[in-house]
Chain A
Amino acid sequence: MLILNCPYCGVDADETELAAGGEAHLKRFGPGSSDDELHDYLFTRENPKGVHLERWRHASGCGKWFHAARCTATLEVFGTYKAQVSGPPQEIRDAISAKRPGWSWREFS
C-alpha cells in the first residue's frame, strides 16, 4: 500500500484516502500549437520503470492536489511536494539522486 505525506495537511495518507491524478508537470498545448504538440499533450505519457513524478489528490482529506516522486518498480516514495510548481524542487531532486544516481524523467534529472 502506498503511503504519501500530504504537503498541505501533513497527514501520512494511505492510498485509500487518495485519488491518483496521472502524470505530473504536463505542459499544455492549446490553440496555436501544432498537431503534433497537441497530440503529444493529449496522448503521450511517460510509463517508466523507476523514477516517476505523479499528481495525487488528498480526496478524502483536505481535498488538495499535490505531487509525489516515487519509484514504480519498488513503490519507494522519494518525497511529496506542493502543486504550485512546474518542476520538482531541489530537495526532491536531491532525494531522488541520493537513491537513484543519474536518474532522468522527461526534462528533469
Chain B
Amino acid sequence: MSEPVSALMGAAYDGIVRVEECGLQGMITLRGDLASSRVIAAATGASGQQMPGQRRANVTGQSGLCWMSPDELLVLVPHAKVGDKLAAMTKTLGDAHSLAVDVSDARAMFRVSGANAREVMAKLAPVDFAPGAFGPGDFRRSRLAQVAGAFWMEEDGSFCIICFRSVADYVFKLLKVAAQPGSAVGVF
C-alpha cells in the first residue's frame, strides 16, 4: 500500500490569521432519516459525539458530527480508523434505508486561526459571521469564492474548513490572499 498523504502536505501560511492544512482527516458521509434510531446509533457510536442540531457541529479533536442537510451528516473520525468505523456503522445501520461512504480521500481540510479569523472567512463566503450570528459549534455549508465549502467554528474562535480535494490548492490560495498582511477590514 502506498502511504496516504493529504492534499497539500500540511502547508501553512501566516498573515493576519494563520492558515494551515490540517492533514489527513477521516470523513464518512451518512445519509438517512436523522430521526431513525439506527442512524442515530451509527453516527453517535462512530464519533462518540451527540447528534448535532440544525446547522451545528459537535467536534472534539478528530471525532465529530456535522449537520450537512436534513438527511445528511458528516461523521469525522481519525483517518487511521475510517475502515473499522465504517464497517461498524454499516453493521449498526443494518437494513435501515441509509448510506454510509468513506469520503476521506475526496476532501481536504483547513484551519483558520487568529483574531481576524471571522474577517478572513467573511471575505470568502456569503454568510453572516457577526459574533451574534455565527458562534462556536455553528456549521455552514456554503461556498468559498467559486467552490463549495463547509466550515464550523471551534471553541477558541478558529474555523475549520472542508472542501473537495480537487480544489484544495485553490482554497489555500484564496485563504492566503484573504489573509494578506495589512488586509484587515476591522468590521467585526
Describe B's contact surface by its main secondary structure: strand
B70 touches A14 (CB 8 A): no
> Would you call B55 an interface residue if the criterion is a C-beta within 8 Å of the partner chain's C-beta atoms?
yes
In the A-B complex, the 5 residue pairs with the smallest Cβ-Cβ separation, listed nearest first, are: A62-B69, A60-B143, A14-B126, A61-B141, A8-B70
> Would you call B68 an interface residue if the criterion is a C-beta within 8 Å of the partner chain's C-beta atoms?
yes
Describe A's contact surface by its main secondary structure: loop
> Would you call A64 an interface residue if the criterion is a C-beta within 8 Å of the partner chain's C-beta atoms?
yes
Give the CA-CA distance A6 to B140 in the complex, in Å: 13
With a CB–CB cut-off of 8 A, which chain A residues contact B70? 8-9, 62, 64
Contact with A along B57-82 (1 / 0, CB 8 A): 00000000000111010000000000
Question: Number of B interface residues, CB 8 Å?
Answer: 12
Give the CA-CA distance A61 to B55 in the complex, in Å: 10
**Could you give 20 example pairs across A and B, Cβ below 8 Å?**
A8-B69, A8-B70, A9-B69, A9-B70, A10-B54, A10-B55, A11-B140, A13-B126, A14-B126, A16-B143, A17-B126, A17-B142, A17-B143, A60-B141, A61-B69, A61-B140, A61-B141, A62-B68, A62-B70, A63-B141
